[in-house]
Chain A
Amino acid sequence: MTSSPTTPASHVLEQPTGPYGTRLLQGWFTTGGAADLDEHLNRYGPPPLSRATGRGSVAPVIRAVEDAGLTGRGGAAFPTGRKLRTVAEGRGPAVVIANGMESEPASHKDETLLDLAPHLVLDGAALAAVAVGAEAVHLCLPRTRHHQIRALGEAVEHRRQRRLDPVPVHVHGLPHYYVSSEETSLVRWLNGGDARPSATPPRPFEKGVDRRPTLVDNVETLAHLALIARYGPAWFRGAGRPDAPGTTLVTLSGAVRTPGVYEVPMGLPLGEMLGTAGGSSQPLGAVLLGGFFGSWLPTDQVMSVPFTKNDLAALGAGPGAGVLVVLPRSACGLAETARVLAYLAANSARQCGPCRFGLPAVAEDFAALARGQADADLSHRLERRVGLLAGRGACRHPDGASRLAATALRAFADDVRHHLLSGPCAAAGGEPVLPVPDASVPQDHEWR
């Protein structure tokens, strides 16, 4: 790396990219530890809040995020700049929600980011709050992560003592079920209700917390925003591809040598992405892309595909929250899918028809298929029921479950035939690969 002779070597602002091209995880790769406030300020300086004030027009930071082409890292990949602008143009004071719920069991990137670089997330939330004219920031975390709630509470307190945050930041612990991380669930909980999705419209950006325009952004998205505010859109576009700029955090697991959370450039071919996790540890069967709401794809079809929304859409998949699980050939994809569907059925909010009846029925059918106990009509029934889940709920929960089931039936078509005709394969009773939590159904009071 070349450096200008006028730049002091210790001035880290000149090197906002760390080892292995890391940005969000630069501090971790440089020091090997989590960044406290002093270290964060030494590395990055205070958040450039002056760039977030628009004074009657659009704030420079919003234009920078638009030019950078940052998209949401929570799963939907919506353009962050457009969302910021919409909330900023809404009527009256706004609210910012930093979504750190990460209810996807195969994802650990938000938890890791909040552990290692909490102040990047909090900087991003502060900058976003000023940019959209918000009077408060709510950081939403799973209630089950006690240590993280305490650590973030302390981080917020340290920032308050230094007067770094222009608006109050509240740290909340919410019920941790699969649908609790949906943006309308956060709004409903913050408004005193259950952490269950609401019917839309209105969407949170129109009417959210206290009926105010509400910006809901994933914590990783906010951390990227904090860096874009400092180093600008051209720097951000220095990684990734023109149509998918920047880096992204991914959680790689299953049959890879070193599973974990990695920061990779957008657009990296999936085969190379697995290479960052040490490559495959055994012969591969299929990959689950996007997590429990994701798509099963045969390994040979995906290794050269770049990790971008458009390239993955061509395969009927999406980046989701950056989850990639590799299933070894020795595992049974139908048994894995049956376990996930049972979990998704139990963790639905049970508010709409498809999640009260359709999804549990699909999960039962799938379990019978995995056990090799299918009746004659199962194949047709399953196909019909899976096809009727999508687009018929208040949130996208049935859509995600439908995608998982439909892609499993396609990717494991040979196994389906085997299970239907000759009973379960040898692998069906084997050690599970996917980390599926307990599938018990939450009681009504547990949603509060």
Chain B
Amino acid sequence: MAVIGVSGHSLRIDRIECGGHGVCAELLPELIELDEWGYPILRDTHVTAELLGHARRAVAACPVLAMRLDRVVRQKSGRT
């Protein structure tokens, strides 16, 4: 049985660590906006290839390192 690995990246926020600094929304406005108190609203956890570079910079820039970029490998059965 053939297995096809479908890979992508997904964004995750540690809500306890997050201090509402707002850097992520500045660097990745395509996916993140802020609520009225400055805490992130994640529009979509899936990060497209075009946004990957921006997402990496946003993760690295978070002053409390509350963001994570997870590699997603979905296993799909190739047998139809």
Interface residues of A, Cβ cutoff 8 Å to B: 198-199, 351-354, 356-358, 388, 392-394
Contacts and interface: CB of A to CB of B under 8 A. Distances in A.
Given A199-B15, A392-B39, 20 more contacts: A199-B14, A199-B17, A351-B15, A352-B16, A352-B18, A352-B39, A353-B15, A353-B20, A353-B35, A353-B37, A354-B15, A357-B35, A357-B36, A357-B37, A358-B35, A358-B39, A392-B41, A392-B42, A393-B15, A394-B15
19 contacts: A198-B16, A199-B15, A199-B16, A351-B16, A352-B15, A352-B16, A353-B18, A353-B20, A353-B37, A353-B40, A354-B39, A357-B35, A357-B39, A358-B37, A358-B39, A388-B35, A392-B41, A394-B14, A394-B15
B interface bracket (residues with beta carbon within 8 Å of A): 10 to 19
Contacts of A394: 14-16
Contact of A392 (B15, B17, B36, B38): B15
Contacts of B15: 199, 351-354, 392-394
A275 B36 CA distance: 47
Contacts of A388: 35, 41
Interface in B1-55: 14-18, 20, 35-42
Nearest to A198: B16
B63 to A, nearest CB: 15
A357 B39 CA distance: 9
A356 B37 CA distance: 10
A356 B14 CA distance: 15
Contacts of A356: 37
A34 B5 CA distance: 57
A138 B14 CA distance: 28
A393 B15 CA distance: 6
Contacts of B39: 352-354, 357-358, 392
Nearest to B39: A353
Contacts of B14: 199, 394
A85 B35 CA distance: 40
A354 B37 CA distance: 9
A199 B41 CA distance: 17
Contacts of B18: 352-353
Contacts of A354: 15, 39
A318 to B, nearest CB: 23
A198 B16 CA distance: 8
* Candidate in B14, B16, B42 with the most chain A CB atoms within 10 angstroms: B16
A351 B36 CA distance: 17
A358 B38 CA distance: 11
A353 B36 CA distance: 10
Contacts of B41: 388, 392
Contacts of B38: 353
Nearest to A196: B16
9 closest A-B pairs by beta carbon, nearest first, are: A353-B39, A352-B15, A357-B37, A351-B16, A394-B15, A199-B14, A394-B16, A199-B16, A393-B15
A377 B18 CA distance: 29
Nearest to A398: B15
Contacts of A358: 35, 37, 39
Contacts of B17: 199
A388 B15 CA distance: 14
A268 B9 CA distance: 44
B35 to A, nearest CB: 6
